[in-house]
Amino acid sequence: MKKDDESRDIDVQDIEILPRFITRREFLKLTGAGIVIFFFHGRAVAQQNEGGRIYFRQQAPSDFNAFLRIGEDGKVTCFTGKIEMGQGIITSLAQMLAEELDVPLESVQMVMGDTDLCPWDMGTFGSLSTRYFGPTLVAAAAEARAVLMELGANALNAPLSRLKSQNGFIFDNVHPDRKISYAALTRGKRIERHLGNTPPLKPVSEYTIAGKPALRRDAYIKVTGKAQYAGDIRLPAMLYASVLRPPAHGAKLRHADTSSAETMQGVKIIKQGDLIAALHENPEQAQNAMKKIDAQFDIENPKVDDKTIFQHLLDVAPQGQVLASGGSIEKGRSLATRTFEETYLNGYVAHTPIETHTAVVQIKGGRATVWASTQTPFPAQNEVAEALGIPVERVRIITPFLGGGFGGKSRNQQVVEAALLSKLTGRPVQVSWSREEEFFNDSFRPAAVVKISSGIQNRGRIVFWDYNVYFAGDRGAAQFYEIPHHRTYSTGFSYSGSSRRYHPFNTGPWRAPGANTNVFAMESQIDIMAAGAGMDPLEFRLSNLRDTRMKRVLNAAASKFGWVPARAPSGRGYGVACARDAGSYVAHMAEVEVDRSKGSVQVNRVVCAQDMGLVINPEGAVQQIEGCVTMGLGYALAEEIHFQEGKIFDLNFDTYKIPRFSWLPKIDTVLIDNKDFSPQGCGEPAIVCMGAVIANAIYDAVGARLRQLPMIPERVREAL
Amino acid sequence: MQQFFFSGIENGIMFILYLCRATSINKGMNMEGLIRFNVNGKAVSMTLEGERKLLWVLRTELGLTGVKYGCGKGICGACTVLINKKAARACRVPVKNIKGKEIITIEGLSENGKLHPLQEAFMKHDAFQCGFCTPGMILTAYSFLQQNPRPSYDEVIAGMDKNLCRCGSHTRIVQAILTAAQEMAGAKV
C-alpha cells in the first residue's frame, strides 16, 4: 500500500497547478482511464443574463459543463472554465473537492480556463464561483465517492454499511487494517457517470479540509517569479506589437504615414482598416517604430466632460423600469414628518489591474492557440473565431494566471488585436497594452446619478423611500429596511455596445458592479435621516430593520469596533454602513480623521462583519475582505477619470491615484460562519460599503456631508 | 607606483568612453555596444543599444519574466530588481548604466533552492492575491531591510509606499515584512 500513498508526501512546491499546458493527446490519455464525473452547474446559467449580457453556448456539450476525474494514480483533477485572477478559487474549489471526496488536498489538481480541456463556462465574475459552481462540484465529488465505495465493497468483500472513506482510501470499519486506495480501485477501469440527483453529502460538522485555513496553492510560484502570466509566454519567432491609438474617443483615423517606421530594421507594419500596428521581435523597438508613425485623426469633440457628464446622463436617460415597489409613495409622503431630497453622484472609475490586458496568439495549420489575460475565455474563443473567420473549435484559449481583473478583463479587445495581427504577419504575436493604453481602452465603471426622496415619521420610522438610479445598474439598488411605502427605479444601465450611446467611452462591470454607487447613495441617505431624527446611526438602522441576518452583522461589527451610541456629528469620526451583495450580508464601521484645512481624509480603522453562509476557506475569505476594504478606499477617496472632448487625462498612476500603503487603516474582520446557508459570494460584498461608511464617518467627524464620489480634498473643503 | 599607473589607465578608459558617449549623443545615433554585467550570479555579456531599458532586456533577451511591466514610468514598482543589492525600477534604467553591476531578480533571490526569509514570509502570510506586484514588493522589501533591519510598522509603511498593489494585500505585505525582519535578525545572532 505504501506505493499508493505517495501523493500524501508531495511537497507544496511540487503541486502541479495551472497554468499547466498539456497537449490534447495527453488530455485524451488522461481521461482514458479512471473515474470521470460529468456535471452541470445549472444555476450559473441563469446568471448569464446578469448585466444584460447573453453568451451563447457554441459547440458545447449540452449535458455537462465541468467534470472531475480520478486517475489511475489516485490523483484527482477538476476541469473548469473558471479562471484564477487572485481571488483564490484555485485553493477554495480544491478544498471543497478534497473534502467531499476524502482525499488529501495535495492530490487535487485544478485545470482552469482552457477551452480545449475544460467544458464551456460563461466566465469568472460576480462572485459566482464558490457560490454556484462550488455546491455542484461538491455533489460531483460525492457521486465519485459513492462509485469508489461500491468498488471498495467488491474489492474488500465487505458490505457498504461497514465502509468508510478517508484520505484517499476505503476502509473496512470492522477491520481497519483492511483498506484499499482510490488509485488501486481505479486502475485499469473506465467509469463514466453523469451527475443526476445529488447523492448524500458529508455533514458540514465532519469537515476537516474545507472551513480550515489553507495556504494558497499558487504561493510558491508567485513568490519565486515562476508563475506565468500571458505576457510571460515566449514562442519562437514571436513579434511584439504596438497598436496605434486615437488621441481621443470618437476620433476617426484620416491618414497614417508609416513610411519612416517601415525603414526601421526588423520592423513590420500592419495597416488593415483602422488597425495599424508596428511589430518587432523586441517590444521597445515596436514602440519606437510606433512613435515614427505620423497619424492624423478627425476628432469628434463630444462636448461632455467630467463636470457636465451628470446633467448629460440625466438628459439622455432612456425609459427605465421599476425594480420593486410597495404601498404608495404619495401616501408615505403625506405621513412623513420630515422629508429628505438628495442627489448623489459618482464619476468614471478605472480597473487598473497591475497586469495590463495581454494576449499571445499563434496560428498554425488553421488553428489558433491563444494565451490570454481574460476573465471570459469562452467568449474570447468566439471573438477570435469570428475575427479570424475560422470555426470556434479551431481556436484554443489558454488562460494563464491573471494579474488582476476586477471586471475589466471581461472585455477581450487585446485578444482580437493579437489574433488579427498574428494572421496578418504570419507570426506568433504578443499584444500587451501599455499602461496608457490600459487606461484609454478601459471599460470604466459608469458615471452615475442617484436621486432619493425619503421621509421619516416620529421616533425615527422610515415611512417612504423613492429611489431612482441613473446608469449605475440594478445591483445593490434593492432596499432592505422595513419601509411601508417604497419604490425603486433604475434606468440607463447596459454593458452592451449601446452604452456608447450615453457614455463617451466604453463602460463595464467593475468589482461589484453598480453596488458601490447604490450603497453609497442608500446608506448616506439612511445616515442623513438618522441625523434628521436625532438618533445614533446604528440605532436608527437597527430600529428600521427586521432582517435578522442584517442585524446580526451590524451588531457583530459594533461589538468588534466598540461602538458607543451618539448622535452625529459627534466629532469622533465614526461611520457605519451595511449592505447585501452576492448573497452575503456585510456591515462596516470606520473611524476617520479629517484635516479641515487641507480637506484630506485618513481612514484609521475599518471593521467589517460578513455573513457569507458557510465559509470554505476562512483565510481566503479574510484576504478577500481586506482586499475589498483596501481597494474600496480608492473609489471612495481618490479614483476618478478626468476627460474632455473624448480625451482621457488620467493615463497613468501619476495622476490617477490608487490606494497605497500609507492609506492603510487597521482592518478587522468578523466572519460569521453561518452554516445554515450554502457558501455565498466573497470577492465583492465587502467593497460595496466603503463609499458610504467613509462619507458617514466624515460627517460624524466634521459635520460635512459628501454627496459625490470620490471624496477628494477639494470636495471635502467645499462641503465644510 | 603600480597602483598609480593602473588608475591612470582607468582614467584614460573612462575618458575614452565619455568621448564615445558624447559622440553618439551628438550624432543622435543609437550606439550598440558590448555590455557586461552579472545577473543572479551569472556573468552576462551582450551587445546592446545602451538606451534600452533593463526591464525589457531581462524579460525579452534573458527570459527572466518574474520582473513585470506595470506602468513604464517607475511609479508602480512591479519592475523592481536589485542593482548591487539596492532596489531599482528596471523600466527606467538604461542598460548602459548597469555595466559591471550585479543584478538580482526574483528568480535569483533564493539560494541553493532555499527560499529567502521574505519569500517564506510572503507565503506564510498569504501576502498577495494575483501575485503580479509580488516580485517587486519582495525585492523592494529586501533593499529596505538592508538599510533598516529592525523597522517599525510605520517605517515599513513608509518604505513600501511607492509600490502599488491593486488587489489590496497591503496589510499582509506589511506583516510579512515584519516577520521576515525578525527572522533575518534572528539568523544573524
β partners of residue A69: A36, A77
High-pLDDT (> 90) share of chain A, % = 72
- Across A445-449, average pLDDT: 96
CA distances from A473 to A341, A366, A396 (A): 21, 41, 33
CA distances from A39 to A96, A120, A183, A679, A683 (A): 15, 12, 22, 19, 24
CA distance B5 to chain A (A): 42
**Structural domain tally of chain A?**
3
In the sheet where A179-181 sits, what is the strand order? A163-166, A169-172, A179-181
C-alpha span between A348 and B107 (Å, rounded): 38
Task: Note whether A208 and A94 are same-domain residues.
Answer: yes
Task: Note whether B39 and B25 are same-domain residues.
Answer: no
pLDDT tens digits along A492-543: 887 655 677 899 999 999 999 999 999 999 999 999 999 999 999 999 999 9
pLDDT tens digits along A375-395: 999 999 999 999 999 999 999
pLDDT score for B188: 57
CA distance A620 to chain B (A): 9
pLDDT tens digits along A470-490: 999 999 999 999 999 999 999
- Across B99-120, average pLDDT: 96
Task: Note whether B40 and B103 are same-domain residues.
Answer: yes
CATH number (domain holding residue A511): 3.30.365.10
C-alpha span between A507 and A528 (Å, rounded): 30
User: Which of A384, A412, A438 is at the close of a domain?
Assistant: A438
Judged by CB atoms closer than 8 Å, whether chains meet at B130 and A86 is answered as yes
Nearest residue to A360 via CA among A410, A397, A386: A397
C-alpha span between B55 and A603 (Å, rounded): 35
Contacts B60 to A, Cβ<8 Å: 240, 282-283
pLDDT tens digits along A329-349: 999 999 999 999 999 999 999
C-alpha span between B122 and B139 (Å, rounded): 12
pLDDT tens digits along B33-61: 999 999 999 999 999 999 999 999 999 99
Task: Note whether B137 and B95 are same-domain residues.
Answer: no
CB pairs < 8 Å spanning A and B: 164
User: Which of B47, B78, B108 is at the close of a domain?
Assistant: B108
pLDDT score for B156: 98
pLDDT tens digits along A61-97: 334 556 788 888 889 998 888 888 888 888 988 999 9
User: Which of A375, A410, A438 is at the close of a domain?
Assistant: A438
C-alpha span between B50 and B20 (Å, rounded): 12
Task: Note whether A333 and A192 are same-domain residues.
Answer: no
CA distance B120 to chain A (A): 8
**Does A201 reach chain B within 8 Å, measured CB to CB?**
no
Task: Note whether A182 and A325 are same-domain residues.
Answer: no
Find the distance separating the first CA and the last CA of chain A, reported in whole Å: 74
Task: Note whether A345 and A411 are same-domain residues.
Answer: no
Domain housing B148: 117-188
DSSP conformational letter for A3? G
Task: Note whether A336 and A244 are same-domain residues.
Answer: no
Task: Note whether A155 and A281 are same-domain residues.
Answer: no
Which is more confident, A126 or A409? A409
pLDDT score for A203: 86
* pLDDT at residue A113 is higher than 80: yes
**Which residues, 6+ apart, have CB-to-CB distance to A454 below 8 Å?**
A339, A340, A462, A464, A465, A466, A525, A529
Alpha-carbon radius of gyration of chain A? 27
Domain housing A662: 317-349+444-719
Task: Note whether A342 and A485 are same-domain residues.
Answer: yes
What's the mean per-residue pLDDT of chain A? 89
Confidence grade of residue A36 (pLDDT, cut at 50, 70, 90)? confident
Asked if A438 and A414 count as a contact pair (C-beta separation under 8 A), the reply is no
Look at A77-91, A162-176, A582-596, A645-659 and tell me which has the smallest mean pLDDT. A77-91
**Does A88 reach chain B within 8 Å, measured CB to CB?**
yes
Between CA A134 and CA A140, with CA A139 as vertex, the angle to 5 degrees is 95
The distance from CA A258 to its chain's CA centroid, rounded to whole angstroms, is 40
Task: Note whether B14 and B64 are same-domain residues.
Answer: no
Is A228 inside any structural domain? no
Task: Note whether B26 and B46 are same-domain residues.
Answer: no
Which residues 663-692 of chain A have a CB within 8 Å of chain B? Answer: 664, 667
**Structural domain tally of chain B?**
3
C-alpha span between A222 and A618 (Å, rounded): 21
Contacts B68 to A, Cβ<8 Å: 229, 231, 354-355, 403
Cell of A312: 448629460
C-alpha span between B99 and B35 (Å, rounded): 6
Look at A208-217, A406-415, A655-664 and tell me which has the smallest mean pLDDT. A208-217
DSSP conformational letter for B120? H
Confidence grade of residue A125 (pLDDT, cut at 50, 70, 90)? confident
Task: Note whether B24 and B39 are same-domain residues.
Answer: no
Query: Coil, strand or helix: which one is B58?
Result: helix
Confidence grade of residue A119 (pLDDT, cut at 50, 70, 90)? confident
C-alpha span between B166 and A20 (Å, rounded): 25
Task: Note whether A257 and A191 are same-domain residues.
Answer: no
Is A226 inside any structural domain? no
Task: Note whether B65 and B91 are same-domain residues.
Answer: yes
- Across A536-564, average pLDDT: 98
Which is more confident, A469 or A199? A469
CA distance A168 to chain B (A): 27
Is A359 inside any structural domain? yes
Residue of A219, A284, A356 lying closest to B123 (CB–CB): A219
Between CA A471 and CA A479, with CA A476 as vertex, the angle to 5 degrees is 115
Task: Return the exposure string of B65-78: e unless at least 16 CB atoms fall within 10 Å of the residue's CB, then b.
Answer: bbbbbbbbebbbbb
Residue of A231, A623, A653 lying closest to B129 (CB–CB): A623
Judged by CB atoms closer than 8 Å, whether chains meet at A85 and B63 is answered as no
CA distance A535 to chain B (A): 34
The distance from CA A687 to its chain's CA centroid, rounded to whole angstroms, is 11
Task: Note whether A510 and A400 are same-domain residues.
Answer: no
CATH number (domain holding residue B104): 3.10.20.30
Judged by CB atoms closer than 8 Å, whether chains meet at B134 and A222 is answered as yes
- Alpha-carbon dihedral sign for residues A422, A425, A431, A436: negative
- Enter the ipTM: 0.90
Judged by CB atoms closer than 8 Å, whether chains meet at B75 and A654 is answered as yes
Task: Note whether B141 and B172 are same-domain residues.
Answer: yes
Residue B160: closest C-alpha in chain A: A661
Residue A350: closest C-alpha in chain B: B166
C-alpha span between A74 and A185 (Å, rounded): 9
CA distance B73 to chain A (A): 8
Is A711 inside any structural domain? yes
pLDDT tens digits along A258-317: 999 999 999 999 999 999 999 999 999 999 999 999 999 998 877 899 999 999 999 999
Task: Note whether A208 and A111 are same-domain residues.
Answer: yes
Task: Note whether A377 and A499 are same-domain residues.
Answer: no
Which is more confident, A595 or A618? A595
C-alpha span between A521 and B38 (Å, rounded): 56
Task: Note whether B26 and B39 are same-domain residues.
Answer: no
* pLDDT at residue B72 is higher than 80: yes
CA distance A652 to chain B (A): 7
Task: Note whether B40 and B21 are same-domain residues.
Answer: no
pLDDT tens digits along A392-403: 999 999 999 999
pLDDT score for A136: 80
Judged by CB atoms closer than 8 Å, whether chains meet at B166 and A658 is answered as yes
Judged by CB atoms closer than 8 Å, whether chains meet at A229 and B132 is answered as yes
Judged by CB atoms closer than 8 Å, whether chains meet at B166 and A282 is answered as no
Residue B132: closest C-alpha in chain A: A403
Residue of A212, A223, A233 best to disrupt the B interface, most CBs of B under 10 A = A223
Nearest-10 crossing angle of helices B170-188, B134-147: 40
User: Which of A182, A212, A242 is at the close of a domain?
Assistant: A212
CATH number (domain holding residue B178): 1.10.150.120
What's the mean per-residue pLDDT of chain B? 87
Task: Note whether A527 and A611 are same-domain residues.
Answer: yes
Judged by CB atoms closer than 8 Å, whether chains meet at B60 and A664 is answered as no
C-alpha span between A396 and A408 (Å, rounded): 21
C-alpha span between A285 and B60 (Å, rounded): 12
Task: Note whether B81 and B135 are same-domain residues.
Answer: no
pLDDT score for A46: 32
Task: Note whether B44 and B90 are same-domain residues.
Answer: yes
Contacts A88 to B, Cβ<8 Å: 129
Nearest residue to A466 via CA among A490, A447, A446, A492: A490
